[in-house]
Protein backbone atom coordinates (compact mmCIF):
# COMPACT_ATOMS: atom_id res chain seq x y z
CA UNK A 1 0.00 0.00 0.00
CA UNK A 2 2.88 2.28 0.73
CA UNK A 3 3.95 1.78 -2.83
CA UNK A 4 0.53 2.73 -4.15
CA UNK A 5 0.43 5.88 -2.02
CA UNK A 6 4.00 6.71 -3.05
CA UNK A 7 3.16 6.12 -6.72
CA UNK A 8 -0.01 8.19 -6.37
CA UNK A 9 1.93 11.02 -4.67
CA UNK A 10 4.55 10.91 -7.42
CA UNK A 11 1.79 11.06 -10.04
CA UNK A 12 0.22 14.08 -8.29
CA UNK A 13 3.60 15.84 -8.12
CA UNK A 14 4.27 15.11 -11.80
CA UNK A 15 0.78 16.29 -12.72
CA UNK A 16 1.25 19.48 -10.70
CA UNK A 17 4.65 20.07 -12.30
CA UNK A 18 3.24 19.59 -15.77
CA UNK A 19 0.35 22.00 -15.06
CA UNK A 20 2.76 24.57 -13.63
CA UNK A 21 5.00 24.19 -16.67
CA UNK A 22 2.00 24.75 -18.92
CA UNK A 23 0.93 27.84 -17.00
CA UNK A 24 4.38 29.33 -17.53
CA UNK A 25 3.68 29.43 -21.26
CA UNK A 26 0.51 31.50 -20.90
CA UNK A 27 2.02 35.00 -20.88
CA UNK A 28 1.22 38.23 -22.64
CA UNK A 29 3.25 41.22 -23.71
CA UNK A 30 2.33 44.64 -25.10
CA UNK A 31 4.16 47.77 -26.19
CA UNK A 32 2.73 51.27 -26.18
CA UNK A 33 3.95 53.69 -28.83
CA UNK A 34 3.53 57.18 -27.41
CA UNK A 35 3.97 59.85 -30.04
CA UNK A 36 4.81 63.32 -28.81
CA UNK A 37 4.38 66.07 -31.37
CA UNK A 38 6.14 69.38 -30.91
CA UNK A 39 4.82 72.65 -32.17
CA UNK A 40 6.73 74.53 -34.85
CA UNK A 41 8.13 78.00 -35.27
CA UNK A 42 7.96 79.59 -38.72
CA UNK A 43 8.15 83.22 -39.82
CA UNK A 44 8.27 85.17 -43.07
CA UNK A 45 9.66 88.63 -43.82
CA UNK A 46 7.32 90.92 -45.72
CA UNK A 47 8.47 94.05 -47.53
CA UNK A 48 5.99 96.62 -48.76
CA UNK A 49 6.09 100.05 -50.38
CA UNK A 50 3.57 102.84 -49.97
CA UNK A 51 2.78 104.18 -53.47
CA UNK A 52 0.20 106.42 -55.11
CA UNK A 53 -1.74 103.21 -55.84
CA UNK A 54 -1.63 102.18 -52.17
CA UNK A 55 0.41 99.57 -50.35
CA UNK A 56 2.21 97.23 -52.78
CA UNK A 57 4.82 94.49 -52.41
CA UNK A 58 8.30 95.99 -52.55
CA UNK A 59 9.55 95.81 -56.15
CA UNK A 60 12.22 93.33 -57.22
CA UNK A 61 13.96 95.92 -59.39
CA UNK A 62 16.05 98.69 -57.81
CA UNK A 63 14.29 101.89 -56.79
CA UNK A 64 16.01 104.96 -58.24
CA UNK A 65 16.71 107.73 -55.76
CA UNK A 66 18.44 111.07 -55.58
CA UNK A 67 20.30 112.48 -52.58
CA UNK A 68 17.91 114.07 -50.12
CA UNK A 69 15.02 111.69 -50.86
CA UNK A 70 13.09 109.30 -48.65
CA UNK A 71 11.95 105.94 -49.97
CA UNK A 72 9.05 103.96 -48.59
CA UNK A 73 10.28 100.50 -47.57
CA UNK A 74 8.17 98.76 -44.96
CA UNK A 75 9.73 95.66 -43.42
CA UNK A 76 7.73 93.49 -41.01
CA UNK A 77 7.67 89.86 -39.92
CA UNK A 78 4.66 87.54 -40.11
CA UNK A 79 4.37 84.64 -37.66
CA UNK A 80 3.18 81.59 -39.59
CA UNK A 81 3.14 79.05 -36.75
CA UNK A 82 3.07 78.93 -32.94
CA UNK A 83 3.24 82.05 -30.74
CA UNK A 84 6.84 83.31 -30.88
CA UNK A 85 9.32 85.95 -29.83
CA UNK A 86 10.91 87.66 -32.84
CA UNK A 87 14.11 89.56 -33.42
CA UNK A 88 15.50 91.08 -36.61
CA UNK A 89 18.41 93.05 -37.96
CA UNK A 90 19.23 94.72 -41.22
CA UNK A 91 22.39 95.27 -43.17
CA UNK A 92 23.04 98.03 -45.69
CA UNK A 93 25.34 97.13 -48.57
CA UNK A 94 26.33 99.74 -51.15
CA UNK A 95 27.65 98.71 -54.56
CA UNK A 96 29.62 101.11 -56.78
CA UNK A 97 28.74 101.68 -60.44
CA UNK A 98 30.83 98.61 -61.40
CA UNK A 99 28.96 96.34 -58.99
CA UNK A 100 31.71 96.13 -56.36
CA UNK A 101 30.89 96.45 -52.67
CA UNK A 102 32.00 99.84 -51.38
CA UNK A 103 33.97 99.86 -48.14
CA UNK A 104 32.20 102.51 -46.07
CA UNK A 105 32.81 103.06 -42.35
CA UNK A 106 29.72 102.28 -40.26
CA UNK A 107 29.45 105.84 -38.88
CA UNK A 108 29.70 107.33 -42.38
CA UNK A 109 27.11 104.89 -43.71
CA UNK A 110 24.68 105.83 -40.93
CA UNK A 111 25.04 109.48 -41.97
CA UNK A 112 24.38 108.70 -45.64
CA UNK A 113 21.55 106.19 -45.33
CA UNK A 114 19.36 106.59 -42.28
CA UNK A 115 16.81 104.04 -41.11
CA UNK A 116 14.66 104.63 -38.06
CA UNK A 117 13.22 101.55 -36.41
CA UNK A 118 9.66 101.28 -35.15
CA UNK A 119 8.67 102.06 -31.57
CA UNK A 120 7.82 98.45 -30.72
CA UNK A 121 11.40 97.29 -31.34
CA UNK A 122 14.26 97.42 -28.81
CA UNK A 123 17.91 97.31 -29.96
CA UNK A 124 20.44 95.10 -28.18
CA UNK A 125 23.77 93.85 -29.54
CA UNK A 126 22.94 94.71 -33.16
CA UNK A 127 19.55 92.96 -33.07
CA UNK A 128 16.12 94.55 -32.74
CA UNK A 129 13.81 92.58 -30.44
CA UNK A 130 10.05 92.89 -30.85
CA UNK A 131 8.57 94.05 -27.54
CA UNK A 132 5.70 91.54 -27.47
CA UNK A 133 5.11 87.94 -28.39
CA UNK A 134 3.60 87.52 -31.86
CA UNK A 135 0.56 85.26 -32.09
CA UNK A 136 -0.05 82.70 -34.82
CA UNK A 137 -0.99 84.44 -38.08
CA UNK A 138 -0.17 87.91 -36.73
CA UNK A 139 2.49 90.37 -37.90
CA UNK A 140 4.90 92.64 -36.10
CA UNK A 141 4.68 96.37 -36.43
CA UNK A 142 7.19 97.49 -39.09
CA UNK A 143 10.85 97.13 -38.18
CA UNK A 144 11.22 100.26 -40.30
CA UNK A 145 9.05 101.98 -42.90
CA UNK A 146 11.31 104.53 -44.59
CA UNK A 147 14.88 104.85 -45.81
CA UNK A 148 16.36 108.37 -45.86
CA UNK A 149 19.19 109.23 -48.25
CA UNK A 150 21.05 112.29 -46.98
CA UNK A 151 21.63 115.05 -49.49
CA UNK A 152 24.83 116.79 -48.37
CA UNK A 153 26.58 113.56 -47.31
CA UNK A 154 25.94 111.76 -50.62
CA UNK A 155 28.80 113.11 -52.69
CA UNK A 156 29.58 112.34 -56.35
CA UNK A 157 31.25 109.06 -55.41
CA UNK A 158 27.73 107.67 -54.87
CA UNK A 159 26.50 108.41 -58.40
CA UNK A 160 25.12 105.32 -60.18
CA UNK A 161 25.50 103.27 -57.00
CA UNK A 162 23.08 100.67 -55.74
CA UNK A 163 22.13 100.18 -52.08
CA UNK A 164 20.66 96.96 -50.71
CA UNK A 165 18.97 96.69 -47.34
CA UNK A 166 18.97 93.05 -46.32
CA UNK A 167 16.69 91.99 -43.45
CA UNK A 168 17.31 88.90 -41.33
CA UNK A 169 14.68 87.72 -38.83
CA UNK A 170 14.66 84.93 -36.26
CA UNK A 171 12.04 83.49 -33.92
CA UNK A 172 12.01 81.33 -30.78
CA UNK A 173 9.22 79.77 -28.77
CA UNK A 174 7.52 81.72 -26.01
CA UNK A 175 6.44 78.69 -23.94
CA UNK A 176 8.67 78.33 -20.86
CA UNK A 177 11.12 80.85 -22.32
CA UNK A 178 11.06 84.09 -20.36
CA UNK A 179 8.68 87.02 -20.43
CA UNK A 180 10.21 89.02 -23.30
CA UNK A 181 12.18 88.45 -26.47
CA UNK A 182 15.31 89.88 -24.86
CA UNK A 183 15.03 87.42 -21.94
CA UNK A 184 14.32 84.45 -24.21
CA UNK A 185 16.89 81.72 -24.77
CA UNK A 186 17.60 79.57 -27.79
CA UNK A 187 18.27 82.24 -30.40
CA UNK A 188 20.18 80.82 -33.39
CA UNK A 189 23.85 81.71 -33.71
CA UNK A 190 24.48 84.93 -35.65
Tens-digit pLDDT profile for the chain (190 aa)?
A: 556 555 555 555 555 555 555 554 555 566 565 566 556 789 999 999 999 999 999 988 877 788 899 999 999 999 999 999 999 999 999 999 999 999 999 999 989 999 999 999 999 999 999 999 999 999 999 999 999 999 888 888 888 888 899 999 999 999 999 999 999 999 988 6
Cβ neighbors of 120 (< 8 A, separation 6 or more) are 130, 131, 132, 140, 141
Beta partners for residue 51, in sequence order: 54
- E strands, 17-133, are 43-51, 54-57, 70-79, 84-95, 113-117, 121-124, 127-130
Q: What pTM value is reported for the model?
A: 0.77
For 23, residues 6+ apart whose C-beta sits below 8 A from its C-beta are: none
At 11 the three-state DSSP class reads helix
List strands edge to edge, sheet with 84-95: 121-124, 127-130, 84-95, 162-173
Amino acid sequence: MKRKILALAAAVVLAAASVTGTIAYFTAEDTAHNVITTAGIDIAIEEWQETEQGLLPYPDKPVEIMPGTTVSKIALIRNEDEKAFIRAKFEIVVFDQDGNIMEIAEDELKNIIRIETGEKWTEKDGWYYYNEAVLTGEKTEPLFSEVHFDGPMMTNEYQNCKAEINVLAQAVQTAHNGETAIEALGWPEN
